[in-house]
Structure 1
Amino acid sequence: MKHAINILNSEPENYSEDAKKILRSFANLHEEPVDRDQLLKLLPSFEILIVRLGIKIDKDIIDAGHRLQYIVTATTGLDHIDVTYAETKNIKVLSLKGEKEFLKEIRATAELTVGLALALIRNIPAAVESVQTGIWDRDLFKGSELYKKTIGIIGIGRLGKIVAGYCKSFGMKVIGYDPFEIIDSAIATQTASLSELLSSADIISIHVAYDNTTHNLLNYDEFDKIKPGAFLINTSRGGIINEDALLHALETKRIAGAALDVLQGEPAIHEDNKLILYSRQHNNLIITPHIGGNTCESFVKTEVFMANQLRENLIKDGVMDENTGNHSC
């Protein structure tokens, strides 16, 4: 007996047309932007759920997926999905995590890292806002250069290596800390400890995966070790930084500034968030809404890749016939 596979794309805005074509070649694709309550109502009719970062896929949502077999996300981080619980329900979570060879061509987050560093040390957002209000005074926005500064990269994985290369192009000295890897000296000078990196770097950039071992990796003690006047960039995950400790470091001028593309608890971030409130009154904190991988090029590449990965997994798991595309019960 054969039956159709049904896919719910819960965040379909600007989804790759090429990826949708692949998905429709072997399944019924339903595209509907939904909130949490709508997802809970719709999900029981689908075997496959496609998500981005808009909704936390927690126990309640997973339990609502009575027919759910796969959750597909074109992301490397998985803190928006309760992967452990999904596995207890025999639901596969397909993601970009570990796809090292493919991800070498996905550079958007690395580019944003450099962009945020420039925006921060050159006071670009504040300068733009000043001109928009009719003030033309460059002396208000004297900044610093990247040239000959030391950048300390925490985590020399895929993105850390790419950022290192970009920074060397600016004539920066690159140091790195990674307890799991011997760093090639052509990429960065390896520090013996995180403390050594924090005390040496003019700019610190975070590129580690978020899990129990990296939660609050930068806490009060670590901020006390940071070189006074350094800048901090985080395009990884919000939970890696203790946000109270960061706020204290900014308020006491321990660090000169920070640029964050991620916050703890996103996407449920509200206007009364303490860091957002600080950023409204101070030019030395830049916050963007997790736009690191949010480029047209990256979305097309990753969504097509994940569509093909889903098809391969359906075949491998015996859910779909390789030649005909028919689906088994």
Structure 2
Amino acid sequence: MKIAQKNYVFDFDSTLTSVEALDVLAEITLANNPKKDEIIEEIQEITNLGIDGEISFTESLERRIKLLHAHKSNLDELISRLRLQLSASIESNKEFFTDFSSDIYVISCGFKEFIDPIVKDYNIPSDRVYANTFTFDAEGYIIGFDAENVLSHHNGKIQCLKDMNLEGEIQVIGDGYSDYVMREAGVADKFFAFTENVARDKAVKKADHVTPNLDEFLFVNDLPRNISYPKNRIKILLLENIHSDAFNRLSEDGFSVEILSHSLSEDDLIEKIKDIHVLGIRSKTHVTPKVIKAAKKLLAIGAFCIGTKQIDLETCKENGIVVFNAPYSNTRSVVELAIGEIIMLMRSVFPRSTELHNGQWNKTAKGSREVRGKKLGIVGYGNIGKQLSVLAEAMGMNVFYYDIEDRLALGNAQRCSSLKELLSISDVVSLHVDDNAANRDFYGKAQFDQMKDGAILINLARGFVVNIEALKEAIETKKIAGAAIDVYPQEPRANGAFETPLKGLNNVILTPHVGGSTEEAQRDIADFVPNKIMAYVNSGNTVDAVNFPNIRLPRQTNAHRFLHIHKNVPGIMAKVNKVLAKYELNVTGQYLSTDNKVGYVIVDVDKEYNKKVTAALKKVENTIKFRILY
């Protein structure tokens, strides 16, 4: 069967390049002009008026050239700058331009003097470039353009394309008015609004298809491309007011990102997650087996916090969903709050402050103690516990710690052989245990009874760790002198009313789960977690995943990469390799890691391969997920 001929007509400015070339030329020619910014702003305004069809293109061109005062010698620097400002997706799909050069044309209202050298690097010869040409005076200054060229006139692209008399389907890829009018006039069959660099409302509304990058255009046309699935088709949902930097990072990488300020109930999340590829949450949203069952497209979950108990990690693993968290990003914030609260409680600052707010002056040293020389007992000597140990020791405290695992002491910290030993000697006890379900009610009446009389308790760990009624009794009976609580057994999903038995108790600091909620920590988390998500989605890396075998992968430039997630049962790799051998694939790299439940294998193969192999790999028994990365 004969394949229908297709012709691909590209605009240049803001399509093949990420900029308008005459704007860049203005930056060069006006570098020493004191009115540079004003003139460039005027040129850009004229450019946009012409692109949107508000003024004739001829008028737009004449007015801009007059303002430029450019010389022929400026064109070399312009070309150098444009080579550095090609659209990212154009650069990453250079192979398309090489392989389909006979089907590609450039029709631009720009100028051949700078377009030809740029597109030549993409195997587009000068005779396939239709553009304006400059006219110069005797001294080499640009004074105008060839007025006989059809592209120097309003709607000139229509006549230009008509005169080319191309056979077959004609697809136009551009960003502005002069591009979509070719479709409106009937001389082109389809118009793709290219929005990678600028999205113009008129062009977007008139488009047959909006293409945020060249990958999308190639995907729609089933053409060879750098990545298998365009990033703009990968939907990411961020919940619970995750820092806007995360939205920016993921959006700038090309993903379609939606952000909501609140958590979602199970029913709402089930409805919302059906078309989502990546989910970002904090501590309030619960990813249950029902949610996971509904998440047919879900590839990964990012927990923008330390804890992951709100996520069913095992069910995620069984369904090939990789989970990342932020185990270090807010460590400093939690530690600083702990230090501050230790000092405030030891000095009875909050009772004195409350008295003054109530109009009572009570200058006294009673119940006010220095932290220097006091014993700090840290329960849980992980990332936070260790950093607290270092800072507390710097303030002169004597640090002791207890952990069920063998942890190396930092500084002069001393390990206790039992929790009971630690509690019996500590003036301050700070809890930093993890969210293991076994830690529920870990700290109750028995532990309070073992504490020194007049000691204080800090809980910045997990709400279910401390028995609240036992804590209340210990404070009311003056067994302990105070407490700072940041986490609670039940916490509301959104800001509003909240009740706790600890309300109103003397020398008790209550905070609404803000231990890690500093601007710095949230920015760090918004950097760390998206990096992990992008590394997995873009290249298959699972380093630091909390529920998946960890693999660090090299980036391949001239290969295809398959990701195969399967149940860890005997014989899977033999079956995978049998498929690869059957279709005679040249494997350039293979990476495998397993745990007790799943296996994760990555296969890199040469660019040329039989496409039937992908269907065969999906059918391998016990396959959980299969993805072609690029």
TM-score by length of 2: 0.46
Question: Following superposition of structure 1 onto structure 2, how do residues 63-82 of structure 1 map, counting pairs within 5 Å?
Answer: 63-82=293-312
- Greater CA drift, 156-165 or 246-255: 246-255
- Alignment length, in residue pairs? 317
CA contact (8 A) 1:122 1:141 kept: no
Deviations 1:92-151 (A, max 9, x none): 211124xxxxx3884110111111112222232333333333333333975222111111
Deviations 1:157-213 (A, max 9, x none): 211111111111221111111231244362411112111000000000111212033
Name the one with the larger strand percent.
2
Match of 2:274 among 44, 48, 71: 44
Change (3 A) 1:55 1:294: same
2:522 maps to: 299
CA-CA distance at 1:267 after TM superposition: 3.9
Question: Following superposition of structure 1 onto structure 2, how do residues 17-32 of structure 1 map, counting pairs within 5 Å?
Answer: 17=245, 19-24=246-251, 25-32=253-260
1:83 maps to: 313
Q: Secondary structure at the match of 1:29?
A: strand
2:501 maps to: 277
Gaps of 5+ in 2: 1-218, 220-228, 542-554, 562-626
CA contact (8 A) 2:351 2:507 kept: no
- Greater CA drift, 118-127 or 138-147: 138-147
1:165 maps to: 390
Change (3 A) 1:188 1:47: same
Match of 2:483 among 258, 267, 286: 258
Question: Is residue 181 of structure 1 aligned with residue 385 of structure 2?
Answer: no
Cα separation, 2, equivalents of 1:288 and 1:205: 15
Cα separation, 2, equivalents of 1:267 and 1:114: 26
CA contact (8 A) 2:263 2:493 kept: no
Deviations 1:44-84 (A, max 9, x none): 22111111123233334333433222111122211222223
Question: Is residue 132 of structure 1 aligned with residue 361 of structure 2?
Answer: no
Cα separation, 1, equivalents of 2:287 and 2:491: 13
Q: Secondary structure at the match of 2:298?
A: coil
Question: Is residue 9 of structure 1 aligned with residue 233 of structure 2?
Answer: no
Change (3 A) 1:40 1:141: farther
Q: Secondary structure at the match of 1:303?
A: helix
Once superposed, what is the RMSD of the aligned Cα atoms? 2.9
Change (3 A) 1:171 1:266: same
CA contact (8 A) 1:183 1:189 kept: no
Change (3 A) 1:132 1:185: closer
Cα separation, 2, equivalents of 1:239 and 1:22: 34
2:195 maps to: none
CA contact (8 A) 2:241 2:262 kept: no
CA contact (8 A) 1:44 1:66 kept: yes
- Greater CA drift, 149-158 or 260-269: 260-269
TM-score by length of 1: 0.85
1:62 maps to: 292
Change (3 A) 1:88 1:185: closer
Cα separation, 1, equivalents of 2:464 and 2:319: 26
1:100 maps to: none
Gaps of 5+ in 1: 98-102
Change (3 A) 1:323 1:237: farther
Cα separation, 1, equivalents of 2:241 and 2:435: 26
Bigger CA radius of gyration? 2
- Greater CA drift, 148-157 or 181-190: 181-190
Name the structure, 1 or 2, with higher relative contact order (CA <8 Å, separation 6+). 1
Identity %: 28
Cα separation, 2, equivalents of 1:95 and 1:180: 22
Cα separation, 2, equivalents of 1:161 and 1:191: 14
Q: Secondary structure at the match of 2:354?
A: helix
2:261 maps to: 33
Cα separation, 1, equivalents of 2:430 and 2:536: 35
2:425 maps to: 200
